[in-house]
Amino acid sequence: MSRIGKKPVKIKDVQVKLEKNILHVKGKLGELSAKLHPNMKIEINNNELVVKRPDDTKINKSLHGMTRAIIQNMVTGVTQGYSKSLEIVGVGYKAEAKGNGILFSLGYSHPIFFVPPEGIKIEVPQPTQLKISGYDKELVGMVAAKIRSFRKPEPYKGKGIKYTDEILIRKAGKTAGK
């Protein structure tokens, strides 16, 4: 049996509602819903939610742990939230909050203005640091990846936008003569 799939999900301080194959989770930070595979059976007991699979076929085994992980991420998101930190490296590279979006100066001939989707909050504590937070783990990761794609870090000087905990493998440049 799946090690992750058989663990119960604690649903304290969260309202959980199951309609057909759609699970709705509501907490203090927001509300999320996800369509689950019809093979997976969800049981709600006291303050726990358990995912059961009908048999040990390959598809059901692979869906078991994934379904439980999706539900756990939803519950954690609406109770605690998720965040990612980005760092901007490079001379003249910066970000600043403008109205409802962020204005990036990344060495291009034009500035880049990015408006985050609903449910995502972007903070700029310093011109070279960003903190992206929200209650949907998938959306927080997608926004962070989108911002990073504006100027990916290059391997020679490390200039660009990188995750704070990302380790870049640097390359040696050309050497003059022998």
Domains and CATH numbers, the chain: 9-79 (3.90.930.12), 82-163 (3.90.930.12)
Nearest CA to 27 among 43, 11, 42? 11
Tokens of 165: 């905990």
Position 171, amino acid: K
- pLDDT tens for the chain, 178 residues: list them: 568 888 999 988 899 998 988 999 999 999 999 999 999 999 988 889 999 989 888 999 889 999 999 999 999 999 999 999 999 999 999 999 999 999 999 999 999 999 999 999 999 999 999 999 999 999 999 999 999 999 999 999 999 999 999 999 999 888 765 5
Cβ neighbours of residue 164 closer than 8 Å, sequence gap 6 or more: 85, 86, 87, 129
